[in-house]
A and B are shown apart, each in its own frame.
Chain A
């Protein structure tokens, strides 16, 4: 190694002095190398270097604190949203009578977790919370069984309508009972549907809402976005 260096220096020195065409070629090669390196820096080699697609994730300019409300979790009883401190959380709102959208959303999040589990250490993984906005029909126990069907680590929470509204409203997430033909005019009818927002809230370890994942959700895109977000946060 020590012997080689002066040798090459000598060679190039000799060439540059004696032979100008070689000097030109060398210069061009060097220039090409510089240009290629610059281009390589500009064009990212992997998805992780690209900026987050705004269709996948919207970063909130002012990080509002997640409202502190008390909800219910099977096996744990009353749980305050303040206890979400210390880890990243993704909150999704739905209900177990949801025929089409919620099962697909939860499957997508399970796939996303599969991607993330391969890429990140356990302590950096987000916790997925499915919040039922239908406490009239969804008990905490039912919800627990429902979410665990999709992923053993998913958490199910529900609570009083007033608390659910206080939690979700600041982020533009709302829901309402739909009046379908069978429910109009019938009291105590349990066969109603809900229209609801499918936006997913990302809560940081300080229980501040960092941003929103608007629908439609893609497992891979969400996994990539999440890694970028926590990477940026760590720097």
Chain B
């Protein structure tokens, strides 16, 4: 019995290595044909009676040309806009971003205090775990619908 244990451990380790190998193989899948990859798309779980939401994501441009994000669309909201949060002398404001450039072979993070997709005016209850489809329109005639997961960050 005692002798069996190390053997099963080795088996366990090799199995987890195999799984890890396959997982990492999945992660390093070839870049999408559009040259653009969007990951970690999420929306902060809104408090009840919140009037607006902000969507965040990571954009990666695998191509050799800059890609510009021009517009975002989502059903069920009165207004969807690309915004940039700006803090000037303690005064916080939001500016409509008309062209958000993702540099060639570069990436861009939508995050608190910076770029976000503003979703305003909605009738339904939005809760953690929901997925909000948002269509992003880029300058190279590319349109991508991404499902933004609703969650409360840590």
Contact = CB atoms under 8 A, between A and B. Distances in A.
Contacts of A178: 93-94
B81 interface: yes
A198 B51 CA distance: 19
Interface in B79-133: 79, 81, 83, 85, 87, 90-94, 96, 112-113, 116, 118-121
B92 A180 contact: no
Contacts of A199: 90
Interface in A132-153: 137, 142-143, 145-147, 149-150
Instruction: Bin chain A's interface residue count.
Output: 20 to 34
Contact of B92 (A145, A146, A198): A198
Contacts of B44: 103
B29 interface: no
A67 interface: no
Given A180-B96, A214-B90, A101 B85 contact: yes
A174 interface: yes
Interface in A214-233: 214-216
Interface residues of B, number: 29
Instruction: Tell me the interface secondary structure of chain A in the complex.
Output: loop
Contact of A182 (B51, B79, B83, B90): B79
A26 interface: no
B72 interface: no
Interface string A191-203: 1010111110000
Nearest to B94: A193
Contacts of A100: 54, 83, 85, 94, 112-113, 116, 118
Q: Which of A103, A143, A150, A216 has the most CB of B within 10 A?
A: A103
Interface string B41-81: 00010111111111000000000000000000000001101
A76 interface: no
Contacts of A96: 47, 49-51
Given A97-B120, A100-B116, A146 B94 contact: no
Contacts of A174: 91
Contacts of B46: 103
A150 B93 contact: no
Given A99-B118, A215-B92, A146 B113 contact: no
A149 B87 contact: no
Interface of A: 95-101, 103-104, 137, 142-143, 145-147, 149-150, 172, 174, 178, 180-182, 190-191, 193, 195-199, 214-216
Given A99-B52, A99-B53, 17 more contacts: A97-B52, A98-B52, A99-B83, A99-B94, A99-B120, A100-B85, A100-B112, A100-B113, A103-B44, A103-B46, A143-B49, A146-B48, A146-B49, A172-B90, A180-B94, A182-B79, A196-B92
